[in-house]
Structure 1
Amino acid sequence: MTDNRFRLISWNIAGKVAVNRKQFEALEGRKPDIVALQEVRVNALNNFRELFSEIGLSFIVETATLAKEKGRRIGELIASRWPLQPIPGTDNETPFPERVLSSIMQSPWGDIELHTVHIVPGHGNGWKKIEMFEGVYRRLAYQSDIPRILCGDFNSPQQETTDGQLVTWGEKLEKNGEISGGEGRWAVGERSVLKGLAEYDLPDIFRLLNGYQIQEYSWFMRFKGRIAAKRRFDHIFASKSLNAVECQYLGEVVEQKLSDHAAIEAVFEPDERV
């Protein structure tokens, strides 16, 4: 924390363990106050507990243990400079509960709700992806008395246009610039979180600050040494009272082969008491 601001970094670390220290060093240099990680294996937990404590992020909540209990490999982790109190992240109808982690952070500005998610890809999971989107929307679609942050890897959208249109994986951008297929459940499910939560004071911070003229990407697929596909899958949504002043992607972690995802970083300058 510097003066009246705090820095949050969200990053899908691709389930890696052997490079946890290098991943930490990439984060350490940014001087974060909160780190939200996706795709955390249970055997990486002790690594991150020890490493984050070195920079004062000694409060940690995680769902990697829950993932192991359910016979799955990866969960989420939040490390904070301030105390964290776990709260329910999903309801019983939402699949992959270990991929949604929620807590209340007792910050110098008052309580702030933190939510980090990793929505499963549609390939191999089918409608479970949309059921996760629907579950996240059910959980957060209300006017909250305290400010909130939602961040993570959403495996969506498929595309964005410079005039502000969003194309989900249930839609198609036609040659004439029109979007088709938006009435189906798949498109509605993805859009409910990516756009719909703005109605409940959870706008997309990157787009709020940077507009749509800037095309940035956070996930990269390589084929034969070249980038074959790139998407903006990783997002931060936050209450306006937290006053986000910066939001950017940290692409160097991909160049360093620490993950196939860039980290996303936001800086907030909240009111004295939010």
Structure 2
Amino acid sequence: MRILSWNVNKPSNREGRIDEQIAFIDSRDVDVLLLQEVRHGRDLKWADYWRDQLAEIGLAEIEDSLDWAAELASSSVPPHDDIGHDNGHITAVNREWDLQLNDQLIRGRLETADSSHFATNFPEKILVSEVDTGGETVELWNIRAVPGNSWGEEKIKIFETVYNRLTDAAVRPRILAGDFNSPDTELADGQAVPFGYSKDPQVRQRYVNAELNILKGLGHLGLVDVFRAEHGYGDLAIQDTSWKTKRFDHIFASESFAVDDCYYDPEGQEYSDHAPIIADLVV
């Protein structure tokens, strides 16, 4: 199973931009695709174009949060009227498999859960689905944590929502991937340095905990950092980062999966400001 996770950086309406990204994806022989920051383009129908073009290259089983983002974008209810909500996620798998949205896991719980632990004003940034490969059912979490320097607490709310929902759910074959906008840096011994350390002391520990729970705290759920499982630790070379000199994009997978390879593909930065992360897993 080849997995590609990529922040496509909200494609503009520049002619050919989406086509270039589709061609790149097609060239990578992908089985499971997780895209973040896909602009829905309510009036320009970019969402429909993405769906049609992915189906053309064989990734015909598709779930996305684009309609949900568009619905929130049209809301006059604060704070959504000031957020924009111009993009969401796409998860797609090859046409031979069955993909189903797990809407209740996030949307339903967000409507009823304690807002101090589960609320996020960016629910479209957490897309959960399930793929049936014919021999295994795998839960797919496609997430993006919005930048803390732009949205402050909202980044942490996304991490808290994901972590608590994962912790509450039964352990099962699972892949968690996306643009985490974290960590700030990683040390050669494997320590992740979160952005939370730069926050005001009154909120610092909450921010640090939220980041580290995702980056380093998923072992009790049987989830491992696939890149680190393949390459170990040590200093990062520039080709081992996904955005400028930072490793913001991640794939975590259940430890039951064998890792054949995992790498960042710098060619993808010709079509986005992020390099996609690609992993070959044996399910």
TM over 0.5, shorter chain? yes
The one-letter amino acid of 2:51's match is R
How far residue 53 of structure 1 moved from its aligned partner, in angstroms, is: 1.6
Q: Cα deviation per residue 1:94-126 (whole Å; 9 max; x = unaligned)?
A: 331001100110113211000100111101211
Q: Could you say which residue in structure 2 is the equivalent of 1:218?
A: 242
The one-letter amino acid of 1:250's match is D
- Report the Cα distance in structure 1 between the residues aligned to 2:52 and 2:100, rounded to whole angstroms: 20
Which piece of structure 1 moves more, 141-150 or 238-247?
A: 141-150
3-state SS of the aligned residue for 2:149? coil
How far residue 181 of structure 1 moved from its aligned partner, in angstroms, is: 11
Matches within 5 A, 1:259-274: 259-270=272-283
Confirm or deny that 1:10 pairs with 2:5. Answer: yes
Q: Could you say which residue in structure 1 is the equivalent of 2:47?
A: 45
How far residue 47 of structure 1 moved from its aligned partner, in angstroms, is: 2.0
How far residue 202 of structure 1 moved from its aligned partner, in angstroms, is: 1.3
Residue segments in structure 2 that go unaligned for 5+ positions in a row: 74-84, 111-118
Q: Give 2:102's match in structure 1, choosing from 87, 103, 112.
A: 87
Q: As a proportion of its length, which structure holds more helix?
A: 2
How far residue 16 of structure 1 moved from its aligned partner, in angstroms, is: 0.3
Confirm or deny that 1:235 pairs with 2:250. Answer: yes
Q: Give 1:186's match in structure 2, choosing from 207, 213, 238.
A: 207
For the 8 Å contact 2:187–2:235, the answer to whether it is kept is: no
For the 8 Å contact 1:143–1:200, the answer to whether it is kept is: no
How far residue 127 of structure 1 moved from its aligned partner, in angstroms, is: 1.1
Q: Give 2:192's match in structure 1, choosing from 150, 166, 169.
A: 166
For the 8 Å contact 2:171–2:222, the answer to whether it is kept is: no
Note closer, same or farther for the CA distance 1:70–1:146 as it changes in structure 2 (3 Å cut): same
Q: Give 1:62's match in structure 2, choosing from 56, 61, 64.
A: 64
Aligned-pair identity in percent equals 38
3-state SS of the aligned residue for 1:241? coil
Note closer, same or farther for the CA distance 1:182–1:129 as it changes in structure 2 (3 Å cut): closer
- Report the Cα distance in structure 2 between the residues aligned to 1:143 and 1:162, rounded to whole angstroms: 33
For the 8 Å contact 2:242–2:264, the answer to whether it is kept is: yes
How far residue 183 of structure 1 moved from its aligned partner, in angstroms, is: 7.0
How far residue 142 of structure 1 moved from its aligned partner, in angstroms, is: 5.0
- Report the Cα distance in structure 2 between the residues aligned to 1:145 and 1:237, rounded to whole angstroms: 14
How far residue 182 of structure 1 moved from its aligned partner, in angstroms, is: 11
- Report the Cα distance in structure 2 between the residues aligned to 1:14 and 1:262, rounded to whole angstroms: 11
Q: Could you say which residue in structure 2 is the equivalent of 1:98?
A: 124
- Report the Cα distance in structure 1 between the residues aligned to 2:250 and 2:190, rounded to whole angstroms: 16
- Report the Cα distance in structure 1 between the residues aligned to 2:263 and 2:168, rounded to whole angstroms: 27
Q: Could you say which residue in structure 2 is the equivalent of 1:26?
A: 24
TM-score, length basis structure 1:
0.85
Residue segments in structure 1 that go unaligned for 5+ positions in a row: 1-5, 173-179, 221-229
The one-letter amino acid of 2:8's match is I
Q: Cα deviation per residue 1:168-194 (whole Å; 9 max; x = unaligned)?
A: 00127xxxxxxx999711101100111
Q: As a proportion of its length, which structure holds more strand?
A: 1
TM-score, length basis structure 2:
0.83
- Report the Cα distance in structure 1 between the residues aligned to 2:215 and 2:202, rounded to whole angstroms: 17
Let me know the Cα RMSD of the aligned residues: 1.9
How far residue 242 of structure 1 moved from its aligned partner, in angstroms, is: 2.0
- Report the Cα distance in structure 1 between the residues aligned to 2:56 and 2:89, rounded to whole angstroms: 20
- How many residue pairs match? The answer is 247
The one-letter amino acid of 2:144's match is H
